[in-house]
A and B are shown apart, each in its own frame.
Chain A
Amino acid sequence: MNHQRRDALKTGGGLGIFGMLVAAGLVKPGSALARDQKVFDAKSIDEAFAALGAGKPEASDQVQIVAPDIAENGAVVPVGVNSALPGTESVSIMVEKNPNMVAANFMLPEGTMGEVQTRIKMGQTSDVYAVVKANGKYYMAKKEIKVTLGGCGG
């Protein structure tokens, strides 16, 4: 049995699929690439923080996550972030146990208040992070939301 040949074939096949994905990525319009895909591809909370350039955000009681403790339907979990920090520039919402950890980033120009609400999907019970950038520094808050019915699949 020639294992090397097999491995070569496997690797080749793998690369082929990868190449197709890249090609598929490239056919996207340029405008869609303006978004920093790295942030959305992050596979761990630390990676997501790093991709945002947030490093280790400081926990702050000035950042509040407004969300239910228990979400019955993981497909639609209302989550709001209120930042009382002056000079809030951006708000990011992340779900630790989702395959796509970063749900959304909101860039708030001056005059827009540090209060946003949206609805997110949650595959399972998880910690939800809110990362707020204010005056060039990053702060965060964390809240566990229990999910009784997952929002992925089905």
Chain B
Amino acid sequence: MAGPMRIRAATADGVTEVRVLMSHPMETGQRRGGDGQPIPAHYITELTAKHNDKVVLNAEMGPSVSTNPYLSFKFKGGASGDTVEVSWKDNKGESRTDKVQIR
């Protein structure tokens, strides 16, 4: 159910821009299904992005983030061919890590 993330990292003028599209239902726990029963909350709580081995972003999320969360940020440095690694954890303990090379 949690498919791979789509990550793009591109560097220009010494700044690397990272864009991440995660695949996640991000259920708030407020909705009810067709049978009237609440749908249990299921959302990403934490995300970490690393450039090579250095952390460039830590994020904490709540259920107010959209389904299939999108995130973009920029950091200084980064060269073509470097690795950007993004991992998330959700409130059910599922996690996922994907890597991409900076273009």
Contacts and interface: CB of A to CB of B under 8 A. Distances in A.
Closest 4 CB pairs of A and B: A103-B64, A107-B58, A119-B66, A29-B93
Nearest to A117: B72
Interface residues of A, number: 42
Contacts of B45: 32, 35
Contact of B70 (A101, A107, A109, A118): A118
Contacts of B91: 28, 32
Interface stretch (A6-14, A57-65, A92-100, A137-145): A92-100
Contact of A39 (B60, B74, B77): B60
Contacts of A122: 64
A151 to B, nearest CB: 8
A40 B60 CA distance: 9
Contacts, number: 122
A50 to B, nearest CB: 16
Contact of A113 (B30, B31, B58, B76): B76
27 contacts: A32-B46, A32-B89, A34-B46, A78-B70, A95-B64, A100-B63, A101-B64, A102-B64, A103-B65, A104-B59, A105-B61, A106-B73, A107-B58, A107-B59, A107-B60, A109-B58, A111-B77, A112-B75, A112-B76, A113-B15, A116-B57, A117-B73, A118-B66, A119-B70, A121-B67, A152-B31, A153-B31
Interface of B: 15, 26, 28, 30-32, 45-46, 54-67, 69-77, 89-91, 93
Nearest to B95: A31
B72 A32 contact: no
Contacts of B55: 109
Given A112-B73, A152-B28, A153-B31, A106 B59 contact: yes
A64 to B, nearest CB: 15
A39 B15 CA distance: 31
A115 interface: yes
Interface in A24-40: 28-29, 31-32, 34-36, 39-40
Contacts of A100: 28, 62-64
A45 interface: no
Contacts of A85: none
Contacts of A102: 62, 64
A99 B15 CA distance: 36
Given A104-B59, A104-B62, A119-B70, A113 B93 contact: no
